[in-house]
Amino acid sequence: MADDSALDGYDIIGDVHGCADALVRLLRKLEYREQNGVWHHPARKAVFVGDIIDRGPQIRHAMNMVRRMVDSGSAYMVLGNHEFNAVAYSSHCHHAVPPPLQRYYRRLGSHLKTTLDDYRFHLHEWQDLIVWLRQLPIFLEFTHFRVVHACWDARRIAQAADCHQGCVLKDDDFLAQSLLPATEPNRVVERLLKGTEMELPAGRSLLGADGVRRTRFRTKFWSRSPQTYGDVVFQPDGLPDELVHQPLSADEQKRLLRYGSDQKALFVGHYWCQGKPRIIRDNIACLDYSAVKGGLLVAYRMGREHTLSNEQFVWVQSD
């Protein structure tokens, strides 16, 4: 697919979230150079895992850097959930949604506040950005590796591939439906851009550190032979002790998504990892190390190898 055999390799870059200064330092460390306002490398290309916007100090600047790299052919980018939100929020199709969903749109608007503030004197540029974001792919597959923002689910990837080869937001109908719960486009977007979740047992809920009470929890899609809730949980808040040891039912086991260890190397962002970057498994690496909030902006230097290694991470402290 996207491979260029003349290249030495690819540098896959995690969630930037408006940290433009950190991105400049990371690109320098990876030996990219700026020429006529565009960062490029003579023998490598960058691949952004999405979530360039929201939260950070220089959103518009970071977005423009990435956009120029993609437009000049020195980088690829897949959509993150934050870019999806931006497109959803800015598209006129949401006027048709039923009143209960209007609250959802107000929430989208509040998530986008930092980005909308940064573009408030650049409205034409903002509208142009939305058009540009709509032609980006929701996943990328190279000969040796794959990139998606949160989760590679073969069934949902195949559905996305059927719609403009994965550039799903090009399609007005797909976009309109993706905003409505329980539609197939909505399931594709939720799964690929936000990952897998599981229901808590009936009547149970969790109070997150953010003060929100939830009846679902985020799960790993890479556990080898999970037996209990504790084996699959993957979120900052964790589960109460009594639920950690609760066995997974046969039905829950069956519904768990598992990315096999025989599959191609997979790169994701999204998960706010902490500490020193390390691979999740031989064939899975997360590149989101919470670039805002004092975390790291992380890249992985990928060559032609099939097995991932901790030695290939490169990172800088965030802005």
User: Of the two residues 40 and 190, which places its CB atom closer to Mn ion in the complex?
Assistant: 190
Shortest Å distance, C-beta 289 to Mn ion: 11
The span of 45-53, 109-117, 135-143, 200-208 binding Mn ion (CB under 5 A) equals 45-53
11 near Mn ion, rule: CB under 5 A: no
The span of 47-55, 70-78, 126-134, 249-257 binding Mn ion (CB under 5 A) equals 47-55
Q: Which position among 15, 141, 153, 319 is part of the footprint of Mn ion (CB under 5 A)?
A: 15
Pairing of strands 296-302, 313-317: antiparallel
Shortest Å distance, C-beta 7 to Mn ion: 27
Shortest Å distance, C-beta 260 to Mn ion: 25
- CB distance 248 to 227 below 8 Å: yes
What is the size of the binding site for Mn ion (CB under 5 A)? 2
Q: Which position among 10, 47, 51, 152 is part of the footprint of Mn ion (CB under 5 A)?
A: 51
Closest CB to Mn ion belongs to which residue? 51
54 near Mn ion, rule: CB under 5 A: no
Shortest Å distance, C-beta 195 to Mn ion: 11
- How far are the Cα atoms of 77, 107, 132, 169, 277 from residue 161, in angstroms, in the given order? 16, 29, 19, 12, 31
The span of 11-19, 181-189, 232-240, 256-264 binding Mn ion (CB under 5 A) equals 11-19
Shortest Å distance, C-beta 288 to Mn ion: 6
The span of 9-17, 140-148, 157-165, 221-229 binding Mn ion (CB under 5 A) equals 9-17
Residue 294 exposed, middle or buried by CB count within 10 Å (0-12, 13-18, 19+): exposed
83 near Mn ion, rule: CB under 5 A: no
User: Of the two residues 14 and 226, which places its CB atom closer to Mn ion in the complex?
Assistant: 14
Where do contacts with Mn ion occur on this chain (CB under 5 A)? 15, 51
